Amino acid sequence: MRKKIAAGNWKMNTTLDEGLKLASEVVHMAKDESLSETTIMMSVPYTHIESIKKTIGNATNVFIAAQNCHQELSGAYTGEISAAMLQNLGVDCVVLGHSERREYYKETYAELESKTQIVLKHQMTPIFCCGEKLATREENAHFDLVKEQLSSSLFELDAVEFAKVIIAYEPVWAIGTGVTASDEQAQEMHHFIRHTIAKNYSDSIAKQIPILYGGSVKPANAQTLFSCPDVDGGLIGGASMDAQGFIDIAKSF
């Protein structure tokens, strides 16, 4: 059975004090017995990682993620952070290829391929994002683009490596807009991603890879989205900034 995952992406939000308060509330609420088999993640600013890792403590269902890392081991890259640094802080997962980084920082397929490989080499789990803008969907090219994003950055991994990846499908036209992909649209793309993985690896690997949906997930729509057979949870932005709302989403399974 695939993991059920609620992953909150805080982006560039919260001071350390605000982040610690939010994380403490999430960790406390995550003790609810109904969440014992749900994986809860918080993708937090770099400045918060060490303190929030301590806040998580020995919680068995709460994990910490970073929002990016550099593709090189070390070097003269002012302002960047390496996979080794994140691993040393106890980071569990790293979000890679988020649409905002693809657009604002012009991340290339080759860079994301290197980042994925270096994260895996440091025993952390990549949460690899893919998805299309509205214009691409309107041109009916969204399947081709998502396939290209996956094949160009992930499909050089061997089967053992690939089996450790989490995929997050984020229709860019639904991120922070209040517009959510319909259940049918989400399921259709998630099924396509799983089918694409099966063609490049195997059915067994495709069936074990968690595929998350990201794009205006809220408590009001999470249950319907998560009921889709190929949707294994969410990469949640704005709604993860409210502890109760985020936990309500996690309970939607």
50 is catalytic: no
Nearest to 237 by CA among 42, 48, 4: 42
Q: Give the residues across from 168 on adjacent strands.
A: 129, 212
- Report the b/e string of 106-142 with b at 16+ CB within 10 A: ebebebbbebbbbbbebebbbbbbbbbeeebbeeeeb
Q: What DSSP assignment string belongs to 68-91?
A: ---SSSSSS-TT---HHHHHHTT-
Given the residues 70, 100, 170, 190, the one annotated as active site? 170
Q: What DSSP assignment string belongs to 103-141?
A: HHS---HHHHHHHHHHHHHTT-EEEEEE---HHHHHTT-
92 three-state secondary structure:
coil
Structure tokens at 66: 């970073």
CA separation (Å) from 187 to 44, 50, 61, 253?
A: 28, 36, 26, 15
Given the residues 70, 98, 122, 142, the one annotated as active site? 98
191 is catalytic: no
Nearest to 68 by CA among 41, 101, 40, 114: 101
What span, in angstroms and rounded, lies between the C-alpha atoms of 214 and 30? Answer: 21
Which positions are annotated as active-site residues?
98, 170
